[in-house]
Amino acid sequence: MISTIIRRLAHMILVMFGISMIVFLIFFATPGADPAARIAGRNASPETLEQVRASFGLDQPLPVQYGLMMHRLFVTRSLTSFVNRGMAVVPAVMEAAPVTLSLVFGAAILWVAGGIAIGITAAACRNTLIDRLLMILGLIGVSMPVFWLGEVMNLITQSRLHDTWLFAWVPALGYKSLSAQPWEWFKTMVIPWITLAVMYAGLYGRVLRANLVEAGQEDFIRTARAKGLSETRILLRHALRTSLISFVTMFGLDFGALVGGGALLTEVVFGLQGVGKLTYDALQSLDLPMIMATVIYASFFVVVSNAVVDILYAFIDPRVRGTGA
């Protein structure tokens, strides 16, 4: 167990190092990428450029620059933005992270529950009207772009039907702190959660149904029937466990990516100042320290969620146990 954790940690450090290197090199070492020119602005005089270089430490060799940046990011945590001088990037990420985590965790609960419900119901009612209906709904969910759905949700809940009993409870856009106003936080997040979860619920439901139907062909399902078990029990105990593997795999990837900033569109539509928004803004202004911080943060969550997925694998399928540790 301990060796597994150590291996995971080493793995994580390796991944984060690799990603930080790539990001660094893209912004510092690709042809035409002169951060000083960008910081100094258009038509800056050579003297200004020199000054900028010196003041940002850009005149030093690349490995030193990289080392300095990592040192200031992880050790002193004093790395500041190139764009808003004096704005420390680590606190900025720390401030944005709870917003994104609230959004993605809540949505994940919804889409996992929704996906499992849709998948199981459709598989149980296979080839009936209910099955087809659910699959079409799932497809519609997958097809709706999240920014469009978000805007429609906003239109309905913030404007058109906001003054009716139905959506009067929906607060104005913007994030409320969970610790300070838990109830307000919840009310604010409900609509973003639903918006973000719809697509994933549809997708996961369809995948789970396909896996359940496929599992239904397995010999052990026939054995279970021959044992005299009920169809419900066969589906929930025997077919579901083995079908969850691809579900969990997808979840690990999607969850990691969303927490890492992939929920940008939802964040923008609902005015949530999350990591996605932060990354997006940093990219707009090519603010390397900020990009570096958000990318490192994102890779951390991707690696962590994949580690969690591996643990879940072992929990779901005993055949995985013992081989990976």
Partner 1 sequence: MSEEPILSVRGLKVSFRTDQGMVHAVDDISFDLDAREILCIVGESGSGKTLTILTILGLISDPNAVIEGSVRFRGRELIGLPARQLRRVRGREIAMIFQDPMTALTPVFTIGWQIAEQVREHTTLSRRAARALAVELIEAVGIPNPKGVVDRYPHELSGGMRQRAVIAMALSCNPALLLADEPTTALDVTVQAQILDLIRKLRADFGSSVILITHNMGVVAEMADRVMVMYAGRIVERGQRDSVFARPWHPYTWGLLGSIPPLEGERPHRLISIPGLPPSLLHVPAGCAFAPRCRWSRAACAERPVLAGSGGHDSACVLDPTQRRAARAAALGVLPGVA
C-beta closer to partner 1: residue 151 or 317: 317
Neighbouring CB atoms inside 10 A of 48's CB total 15
Distance separating alpha carbons of residues 255 and 115, to the nearest angstrom: 14
Q: Which residues pair with 88 in a beta bridge?
A: 80
Q: Length of the chain, please? A: 325
C-beta closer to partner 1: residue 159 or 230: 230
C-beta closer to partner 1: residue 59 or 231: 231
Site size with partner 1, rule: CB under 8 A: 22
Structure tokens at 248: 């969990």
Q: How far apart are the first and last CA of the chain?
A: 7
Neighbouring CB atoms inside 10 A of 193's CB total 23
In the bound complex, what is the minimum distance in angstroms from residue 130's beta carbon to partner 1? 16
C-beta closer to partner 1: residue 96 or 234: 234
**Under 8 Å between Cβ of 272 and 171:** no
Beta-strand (E) ranges in 153-223? none
Question: Binding to partner 1 (CB under 8 A): which residues in 103-132?
Answer: 127
In the bound complex, what is the minimum distance in angstroms from residue 221's beta carbon to partner 1? 8
Distance separating alpha carbons of residues 79 and 35, to the nearest angstrom: 16
Show the site string, 196-235: x = touches partner 1 by CB under 8 A, - = not. ----------------------xxx-xxxxxxxxxx----
In the bound complex, what is the minimum distance in angstroms from residue 230's beta carbon to partner 1? 7
* Sole binder of partner 1 in the list 34, 214, 281, 317 (CB under 8 A): 317
Show the site string, 235-274: x = touches partner 1 by CB under 8 A, - = not. --xx--xx--------------------------------
In the bound complex, what is the minimum distance in angstroms from residue 241's beta carbon to partner 1? 5
Residues 132, 138, 140: CA angle, nearest 5 degrees: 105
* Sole binder of partner 1 in the list 31, 46, 63, 318 (CB under 8 A): 318
C-beta closer to partner 1: residue 11 or 237: 237
C-beta closer to partner 1: residue 86 or 228: 228
All residues at 6 or more sequence positions from 142 whose CB lies less than 8 Å from its CB, including other chains:
199, 202, 203, 206
C-beta closer to partner 1: residue 45 or 127: 127
Binding of partner 1 by 323 (CB under 8 A) = no
Distance separating alpha carbons of residues 175 and 48, to the nearest angstrom: 40
* Sole binder of partner 1 in the list 137, 156, 257, 316 (CB under 8 A): 316
In the three-class reduction of DSSP (H, G, I as helix; E, B as strand; rest coil), residue 88 is classed as strand
Binding of partner 1 by 45 (CB under 8 A) = no
**Under 8 Å between Cβ of 67 and 21:** no
In the bound complex, what is the minimum distance in angstroms from residue 85's beta carbon to partner 1? 57
DSSP tag of 77: -
C-beta closer to partner 1: residue 158 or 249: 249
DSSP tag of 284: H
C-beta closer to partner 1: residue 43 or 217: 217
Neighbouring CB atoms inside 10 A of 23's CB total 17
Binding of partner 1 by 319 (CB under 8 A) = yes
In the bound complex, what is the minimum distance in angstroms from residue 213's beta carbon to partner 1? 12
Q: How large is the angle between the packed helices 89-124 and 288-316, nearest 10 degrees?
A: 30
Distance separating alpha carbons of residues 321 and 325, to the nearest angstrom: 7
In the bound complex, what is the minimum distance in angstroms from residue 228's beta carbon to partner 1? 3
Q: What type of residue is 288? A: L
- Which residues of this chain interact with partner 1, rule CB under 8 A? 127, 218-220, 222-231, 237-238, 241-242, 316-319
